Amino acid sequence: MQIKLNKEIDSRISAESSSASAKESVKELERAMQRSSENSEREKKALQKELSYMKDDSKLSISKLNAELERMSLRAQNSEKEAKMLNEQLEDLKKQLNECLREKNETELRLLDSAPLSVQRNPTDDQKLIKLLQEELRNYEKEVHEARRLKSSHTNVELLSEKLLEEQSRRKRAETELSKLQEIEAKAQKLELELASCTSLLGNIPDVSSYSNIADLQRQALTDLNKLGEVTSRLKELEVTLEFAEISKQRAEGEATLAKERAESASREVKRLELLLTAVSEERDRLRKDHNMLSNQKTRDGDDMSSKKMESDLSQMEKVVRELETTLHEQRELISQQHAELNLMNEKLSIEARKAKSLEREGDQLRSQVALLESKLGHGDYSASSTKVLRMVNTLAMDSEAKQTIEALQAELKKTKERLQAIEELKGQADAGTVVDANVAEKLAQLKNQVATLEKREERYKAVFLERISVFRKACCSLFGYQIVMNDEQQPNGIHVTRFTLQSVYAQTDDEKLEFLYESGSTNIVVNGYTSQHEIAQQVDIFIRKMNSIPAFTANLTMESFNKRSIC
């Protein structure tokens, strides 16, 4: 039995320890749950704040992107227009060059055909000059073509390099985002495992009541994560649009640089054309001189017609050259105007950029003001100078209150009507009001007389009673030898008692008094200082307590007091 007891005690102790440990574990789990819930709440709040910040940032970035896109599109359009203009000018210049070259060739042929004699004299020098000029022209043209090809290849190379850089940057960003995604996924898996472990622990513990809260927190966390994911996706979209905007910006800048380079090349070509023109004009002058020489020789030889033809051809050449010079001058002016316009556009762009920034700031301020106003509107604020708040006088509450008061008043009306009816009935029962009043007065007078007579009688009775009672007392005193004083008392228990105080006629002192209490037919002696004396106490014992006779006691006491008096 003892062993069993010990075993049971041990088992109980182990059970208690296990329960204590379980309780402790439960408490720890509850604390952990609280911490996790607090953490989740904090995370939720932080996520919500981040969401709000992200939303605001996304809105701002969207607005900025839209403005930048518009700017870039305008720039691109302007650069395209400029490029078109420059291309047209280049084409015109090329056409003019080709025409000049053709005319030169024609004039050369004419010169060759028309002046055989002059060629005979100095054929080799002129031919050499022409050939040299032609070769130079061809070389220049080749150089121009090669330069253009080099430029186009260079621009292509630049574009390709830019594209390569963009793609490399995209790859890097994608890789970083992928790594971040992997990290986030790992964190999410860890959190899910922790949550699953906590939920399993809570499921095992029966008394834990916050399981549903965890599920709600999980759902809220999932929804917040989904929102985060959506926001991140939007951010990525915005980043993509930003990249596209940057690419378009870079393309526009490249096109602008190309257009500038083309303008520069056009100006260089113009300069070269000028140089060619000067060379052509110099050659013309030389040819003129030669022609003059030839013409002088012809006049010597007598051939005027051919010289006239040569002169007309030369005049036409001069006209063409002048036209070319005027076109060159106009193109120079156009180019200078375009440069000035470009500078103006750049200044306008900078001014507009500043305006856009100031507008963005104003927009942010306005948004904050709008938020404040919306909060005020929602709160119900208004300006008394421009707005009045009105409501109907007879609202439903007022109507219900009015109905209640009306019902209460109607109930009071009914009560008062009932009272009036009762009063009228009472009045109807009585014959006349004046007769009732007279009887009442007579009765009152009679009653008053009766009261007076009764009072008189009472006084007489009192007086008579006092006389009689005094006579009775005197008689009792003279007959029985005791002066009796009667007083009514009320004991603490509430019972009314009559106290009789007897003093013998033969008493030698005023202290020799006997006191008796009379209650409902029974008379009892009261112990006082006189009755507690030895002699009196013996008599009280003998006559009252043993013989139960107060008269014998009082008689014996009077005899003794008489004997004492007579002896003294």
| Binding region for another protein (CB under 8 A) | 374-375, 377-382, 384-397, 399-400
Q: How far is the CB of 376 from another protein (least distance, A)?
A: 10
**CA separation for the pair 268, 519 (Å, rounded):** 157
Beta strands 496-504 and 522-526, pairing class: unpaired
Q: Which is nearer to another protein, 383 or 439 (CB)?
A: 383
Q: Which is nearer to another protein, 375 or 416 (CB)?
A: 375
Do 525 and 531 meet the contact criterion of CB atoms below 8 Å apart? yes
Q: Which is nearer to another protein, 4 or 388 (CB)?
A: 388
- Tell me which H or E stretch contains 283: helix 211-301
Q: Which is nearer to another protein, 4 or 391 (CB)?
A: 391
Residue 324 CB coordination number (10 Å): 21
Tokens 């960003």 correspond to 173
Q: Which is nearer to another protein, 222 or 464 (CB)?
A: 222
Q: How far is the CB of 386 from another protein (least distance, A)?
A: 5
**CA separation for the pair 126, 287 (Å, rounded):** 9
Q: How far is the CB of 396 from another protein (least distance, A)?
A: 6
**CA separation for the pair 530, 534 (Å, rounded):** 9
Q: How far is the CB of 223 from another protein (least distance, A)?
A: 14
Q: Which is nearer to another protein, 61 or 220 (CB)?
A: 220
Q: Which is nearer to another protein, 223 or 312 (CB)?
A: 223
**CA separation for the pair 51, 225 (Å, rounded):** 10
Strands of the 482-490 sheet, one edge to the other: 482-490, 496-504, 513-519, 522-526
DSSP 545: I
Q: How far is the CB of 403 from another protein (least distance, A)?
A: 9
User: Coil, helix or strand for 568?
Assistant: coil
Q: Which is nearer to another protein, 216 or 511 (CB)?
A: 216
Q: Which is nearer to another protein, 397 or 430 (CB)?
A: 397
Q: How far is the CB of 373 from another protein (least distance, A)?
A: 10
Q: How far is the CB of 217 from another protein (least distance, A)?
A: 16
Do 75 and 83 meet the contact criterion of CB atoms below 8 Å apart? no
Q: Which is nearer to another protein, 222 or 454 (CB)?
A: 222
Tokens 């006209």 correspond to 319
Q: How far is the CB of 334 from another protein (least distance, A)?
A: 48
Output the six-digit token pair for 3. 């062993």
Do 91 and 267 meet the contact criterion of CB atoms below 8 Å apart? no
Instruction: Return left, alpha or beta for 391; rule: phi > 0 is left, psi -120 to 50 is alpha, else beta.
Output: beta
**CA separation for the pair 317, 185 (Å, rounded):** 82
**CA separation for the pair 78, 480 (Å, rounded):** 157
Output the six-digit token pair for 131. 């050939």
Do 99 and 319 meet the contact criterion of CB atoms below 8 Å apart? no
Q: How far is the CB of 380 from another protein (least distance, A)?
A: 5
Q: Which is nearer to another protein, 390 or 479 (CB)?
A: 390
Output the six-digit token pair for 386. 């421009």
Q: Which is nearer to another protein, 28 or 399 (CB)?
A: 399
Total count of residues recorded for the chain: 568
> Which of 131, 78, 83 is CA-nearest to residue 108?
131
Q: How far is the CB of 400 from another protein (least distance, A)?
A: 8
Q: Which is nearer to another protein, 193 or 371 (CB)?
A: 371
Q: How far is the CB of 372 from another protein (least distance, A)?
A: 13
Q: How far is the CB of 12 from another protein (least distance, A)?
A: 42
b vs e for 54-65, b when ≥16 Cβ sit within 10 Å of the residue's Cβ? beeeeeebeebb
**CA separation for the pair 505, 477 (Å, rounded):** 7
Q: How far is the CB of 383 from another protein (least distance, A)?
A: 9
When computed from its CA atoms, the radius of gyration of the chain, rounded to whole angstroms, is 71
Q: In this structure, is the dihedral angle defined by the CA atoms of residues 521, 553, 505 and 530, taken in order, positive or negative?
A: negative
